[in-house]
Chain A
Amino acid sequence: MSPRATASGPLLSVKDLEVGFATEDGLLKAVDGVSFELARGEVLGIVGESGCGKSVTAQTVMGLTRSSNARISGSVEFNGADLIEASDDDLRKVRGESIAMIFQDPMTSLNPVYKVGKQIAEQILAHRDVSDKEARDRAIELLRDVGIPHPERRIDDYPYEYSGGMRQRAMVAMALSLEPEVLIADEPTTALDVTIQAQILTLIEQLNRDRDLAVVLITHDLGVVAEVADRVQVMYAGQVVERGTLDEIFYDPQHPYTWGLLGSLTRLDRPRPKRLPQIAGQPPSLLSPPGGCRFRPRCPHAFEQCAELPSLEGRLGKRSEHADRCWLQPKEKESRRSVDGRIGLGAPAA
């Protein structure tokens, strides 16, 4: 499950990205020094709770956070070309052509007054030199690819005539229309029922496998991540607190916040615990984040050193990209995290 190495370097590379928003109450630092790389054909999961900066990170990659009150620094490179400093025109060429995005709420991301087919064809017409007829045929083909039944008929439906799952499929079709290399999916299944969620996840997996599409999957649901991601990064209060391969994060988690996330899941495949392990307190305000480690106020394992912010680095002394922001000794972590017997177990319980 290691990331597929490419001779030409990563497809998408984000370095020290900082995104702040000037508000009446001061500068709100939504993203504070986030870096990651995405290789061709890889699925990167970004996990965290509301307000941890995962969506702002993705939106900034797409240039969607550009506004007069935004303060953006760091770099975002796609195939070596910088996107932070790119002109709006250049960025427009990247959007859709190279990087496409789908959003959480398929109900509000389609325009209700245009037919679905028209919305897909519009994007093709704007970027490609084709006739209306060709664009329409392409749209039908795309709808068929994402599993919409009778696409030649459904193409002339309005969004309200589609169910939630079908709308998300239509969004995926639209995202694929220009054959991008990267798909950013921001909570693509959160608004959907579980049976429909399973359909959409299967679709994303197929696209990743069949088209070598690289995917950044943003979600709060570790179950969804476990199903599709190759690598995972966990975010808390604007920072990455841990990153590693899927197995490293699930079977050898290093950061107490990751333990907390894994522990507070209600799992169908394990005996039901008497009490759910919970993370006390709530995420800090990003207007005045706590000094030192940001998780310190909620962390049951905090000690003096945590007043100083730990950097994101490999602390396990092995040749792996597994890195975390926690001062505890790896040995210490191993003994502490398994207290309730559920977290970081190597083998599934019988």
Chain B
Amino acid sequence: MSNGDPLLEVSHLVKHFPIKSGILLEREVARVHAVDDVSLTLHEGETLGLVGESGCGKSTLCRAILQLIRPTAGSVKFQGEELVGRSRKELQPLRREMQMIFQDPFASLNPRKRVGQIVGDPLRLHGLASGDALKRRVQELLDRVGLSGEHYNRFPHEFSGGQRQRIGIARALALQPKLIIADEPVSALDVSIQAQIINLLEDLQDEFGLAYVFVAHDLGVVRHVSDRVAVMYLGKIVETSPGAGLYERPIHPYSTALLSAVPIPDPEENREREPLVLDGDVPSPVDPPSGCRFHTRCPWATDVCSELEPPLVNYGSGRLAACHHPLNLKRGALSKATISEESPAGAADALPSEPGKADLPVGA
């Protein structure tokens, strides 16, 4: 999968939102640490799943990658070109290559525009087609996403949720991008429709060689579509792994807890397993916990977890995790582990001294 240079390279990306107070002289009183030193790479034709709970910074990360919001620090390289610091005008030609699909198909389509206009606007704005050619191209796109050319003159309100998401996908495809960032593209849809949209996204990936960053909170959906999965917690990536590895042997306790919390649609298995239920809620990103951000909820946390931020450690075969007490490691994995280049700048530089002890069974 990973041959050649990555399509997208995000290094040490930071996005903090200032909280200001005062009437005339606004002073910054605090910061929301939405994305805090996140690195990831994505190759052509690959799907990276991004999971985490609400408020963990998934959506902010997506927007910061596309420069829809300006990152506070860090770098985003697309096909080797730096995006951070470019002006709107300088970004414009690159926008053709990077598109986004949004969560809410009801809010992401302009209700006063016809479908033909919605899907055709990107082509028109980039000067790629006009007149009859534009209309033909839009109708082709509508056909391709499972709508019909006849829908050209309809308004968004005439469509169901699933159909609207298809319109959003057609719009994203219009410029033949290489990268599509899909932010919770199926969360608002019913299960039977979810499967339709996921299958469509996979077909389009095969046909056009698209790379996806696929954001979702549904771990089942993410497993189905992703080659690799990154787990986020409070603005940090806590674990990155090829899909199968993560689901079978999660290293980070948060991944373990997240997987354990997913209800299994099988009564027998449910009766047999004892899920790990986390206490409490996700802490506030305004004042994130010291050390490992997960230590306030982690059943395995010790003193070191509240003092030192764990480095992102590379355990080989594409598996990275940031934990002082890594779980589910194979024998000897720890001795070969190294600190990853992607590890946050503020993290400690000591490898975990020993593997975590209590290996709770997860999933099956």
Contact = CB atoms under 8 A, between A and B. Distances in A.
Interface of A: 49-50, 149, 163-166, 193-199, 201-202, 220-227, 246-247, 250-251, 260-262, 264-269, 272-273, 275-280, 282-283, 348
Interface in B185-202: 190-196, 198-199, 202
Interface stretch (B27-35, B170-178, B262-270, B300-308): B262-270
A196 B258 CA distance: 10
Nearest to B244: A272
Interface stretch (B91-99, B134-142, B218-226): B218-226
A279 B281 contact: no
B195 A276 contact: yes
Contacts of A224: 263
B278 interface: yes
A227 B278 CA distance: 17
Nearest to B220: A266
B110 interface: no
Contacts of A261: 191-192
A262 B195 CA distance: 11
Contacts of B102: none
A276 B202 CA distance: 10
B217 A194 contact: yes
Given A194-B261, A224-B263, A268 B192 contact: no
Nearest to A221: B263
B265 A267 contact: yes
Interface in B139-187: 160-163
Given A278-B199, A282-B160, 20 more contacts: A193-B53, A195-B53, A195-B258, A196-B281, A198-B275, A199-B278, A220-B190, A223-B262, A246-B267, A247-B268, A250-B265, A251-B267, A265-B265, A266-B218, A266-B221, A268-B219, A268-B220, A268-B223, A280-B196, A282-B163
B257 interface: yes
B56 to A, nearest CB: 9
Contacts of B261: 194-195, 197-198
Nearest to A166: B281
A264 B268 contact: no
A268 B262 contact: yes
Contacts of B259: 268
Contacts of A276: 195, 198-199, 224
Contact of B266 (A198, A202, A226, A266): A226
B125 interface: no
Nearest to A263: B195
A265 B263 contact: no
Interface residues of B, number: 48
A149 to B, nearest CB: 8
Pick the 3 closest A-B CB pairs, nearest first: A223-B263, A266-B220, A278-B195
A278 B189 CA distance: 13
B24 interface: no
B299 to A, nearest CB: 12
A279 B223 CA distance: 20
A205 B13 CA distance: 42
A268 B195 contact: no
A277 B191 contact: no
A266 B262 CA distance: 11
Contacts of B218: 266
Contacts of B281: 163, 165-166, 196
A266 B224 contact: yes
A195 B266 contact: no
Contacts of B130: none
B199 A275 contact: yes
A265 B220 contact: yes
A283 B193 CA distance: 10
Contacts of B279: 199
Contacts of B199: 275-276, 278
B223 A199 contact: no
A163 B221 CA distance: 26
A227 B281 CA distance: 22
A206 to B, nearest CB: 11
B160 A226 contact: no
A181 B75 CA distance: 58
A269 B191 contact: no
B277 interface: yes
B247 interface: yes
B195 A279 contact: yes
B45 interface: no
B340 interface: no
Given A166-B281, A198-B261, A250 B267 contact: yes
A163 B217 CA distance: 18
Nearest to B219: A268
Name, among B160, B162, B192, B202, the residue most crowded by chain A CB atoms within 10 Å (CB to CB). Answer: B192
Contacts of B278: 195, 198-199
Contact of A268 (B194, B247, B268): B247
Nearest to A257: B192
Interface in B270-285: 270, 275, 277-282
Nearest to B55: A193
Contacts of B198: 266, 276
A193 B297 CA distance: 15
A348 B264 CA distance: 11
B352 interface: no
A58 B279 CA distance: 31
Name, among A196, A220, A280, the residue most crowded by chain B CB atoms within 10 Å (CB to CB). Answer: A196
Nearest to B263: A223
B232 to A, nearest CB: 12
5 contacts: A198-B261, A267-B266, A268-B223, A269-B363, A278-B196
A282 B162 contact: yes
A279 B192 contact: yes
B235 to A, nearest CB: 16
Nearest to B276: A198
B364 interface: yes
A246 B118 CA distance: 45
Contacts of A279: 192, 195-196
Contacts of B364: 268-269, 348
B260 to A, nearest CB: 8
B103 to A, nearest CB: 13
Interface string B329-364: 000000000000000000000000000000000011
